[in-house]
Copies of this chain bind each other. A is one copy, B any other.
Amino acid sequence: MSTCIVSTETIGEKLRSIRKDKELTLRKVASLLDIDFAILSKMERGERRITKEVVLKLADIYKYDAEALLVLFLSDKILFEIQDEDLGIEALKVAEERAKFVKANKKK
């Protein structure tokens, strides 16, 4: 059996597992974020949308790689858009080409 490179975790699940590792409670972290702990609970379980700002604050609170969390956060949003579309992967490739094109042509 090989180690799985691709994470099957959503950003919410990832944030939860990090919080557990740090042995922090929802109440504690939520208070640091200045939000209701019920909302954080729902964010971790994918019932409420997570914002970029929350991800960055949690990266800071948990002392965790912010870029890695942001990439997971963004890929979550991307995957949500293609859901179970048969053409999802092809659309991802086209999107990547278009993104590269935009990046290469944008002025500083």
Contacts and interface: CB of A to CB of B under 8 A. Distances in A.
Nearest to A103: B89
A85 interface: yes
Interface in A12-67: 67
Interface range on chain A (Cβ under 8 Å from partner):
20 to 34
A81 B74 contact: yes
A5 B89 CA distance: 18
Contact of A91 (B5, B75, B91, B93): B75
Contact of A98 (B6, B97, B103): B6
A79 B100 CA distance: 11
A74 to B, nearest CB: 3
B94 A92 contact: no
Contact of A87 (B71, B82, B87, B98): B71
B79 A89 contact: no
